[in-house]
Amino acid sequence: MVDMHGNSPKSLRQDLLAQRKQFAASASYPAAQEAILTSFSRFLADYDAQIQTIALYCPIQDELDLRPALLAWAANKAGKTLSLPFARPDKHLDFYAWQEGDLLIPSRHGVLEPDPNNPRRPQATPDCILIPCVGWSKSPSGDRNHYWRLGYGGGYFDRTLTQLRASNPSLLCVGIGFDWQKLDDAQWQAQTHDEPLDLLLTESGLLR
């Protein structure tokens, strides 16, 4: 589905975002959404023992909304925390505890963020981060695959992951995307500063 003709990452992003908008309005979207949510519920069950704090995202530009599934997960488990990212001026992310109904503030990028000055919602260090993909790619490495995320170009997640992984090597980073967003090497290749995903969730299931 992705059509790319040697353009820059910026125009590739624009193409992919336009296609995601079309896809979200298409007849095939509900089935893909349902398949991802089913696999996501299975992921939460399978990894339940090693996950206490999940960093989620407030969806923008037709990203898949995982909040209902996560709220149900947190409500049924003692000691589970949901958190949302707050973008610092130095292009790193901090994460703050989030509950349904919290007042959120739009960032300069239009993303709803927690209020870092809310005394009732402390900072929370996630052991699992869910990251929506604009596009994604796969590269074989030895006997396993690496999955990479094409994002919006700000580098926030890569900087933050580098930091968090240094202090918690077992951090789980899960990309959320669709099968049609897969890019080949001619379209886009991960750069040296890009951090790999641990898992990628699409309508085909959980790719490890």
DSSP 201: E
2 contacts 15 by C-beta, under 8 angstroms: yes
Identify the pLDDT of residue 2: 52
Distance between CA atoms of residues 149 and 195, nearest Å: 8
Residue with tokens 């990452």: 9
Beta strands 172-176 and 112-114, pairing class: unpaired
The stretch 187-202 carries a mean pLDDT of 91
On whether 63 is known to bind a ligand per the annotation, the reply is: yes
The stretch 162-177 carries a mean pLDDT of 94
Distance between CA atoms of residues 129 and 84, nearest Å: 10
Q: How confident is the model at residue 7 (pLDDT cuts 50, 70, 90)?
A: low
Between 67-75 and 29-46, two packed helices, what is the crossing angle to 10 degrees? 30
| Lowest-pLDDT choice from 1-5, 42-46, 110-114, 182-186 | 1-5
Beta strands 81-87 and 53-55, pairing class: parallel
**Percent with pLDDT over 70 in the chain:** 97
Beta strands 144-150 and 135-141, pairing class: antiparallel
Identify the pLDDT of residue 4: 47
163 contacts 92 by C-beta, under 8 angstroms: yes
Identify the pLDDT of residue 3: 52
Phi/psi for 79 (5° steps) reads: 80, 10
pLDDT at 52 over 90: yes
- Whole-structure pTM value: 0.91
If we measure between CA atoms, which residue out of 44, 51, 130 comes closest to residue 85? 130
Please say whether the structural domain 50-95+107-128+151-180+199-208 has been given the CATH code 3.40.50.2300: no
Identify the pLDDT of residue 130: 97
Beta bridge partners of 104: 114
**Percent with pLDDT over 90 in the chain:** 71
Identify the pLDDT of residue 112: 92
The stretch 150-167 carries a mean pLDDT of 90
Instruction: Name the 3-class secondary structure at 166.
Output: helix
The stretch 99-110 carries a mean pLDDT of 87
Question: Could you read off the pLDDT of 112-140 as tens digits, one per residue?
Answer: 999 998 888 989 999 999 999 999 999 88
Hey, what are 194's tokens?
């890009």
For the chain, the structural domain boundaries read: 50-95+107-128+151-180+199-208
Tell which wins on pLDDT, 193 or 37.
37
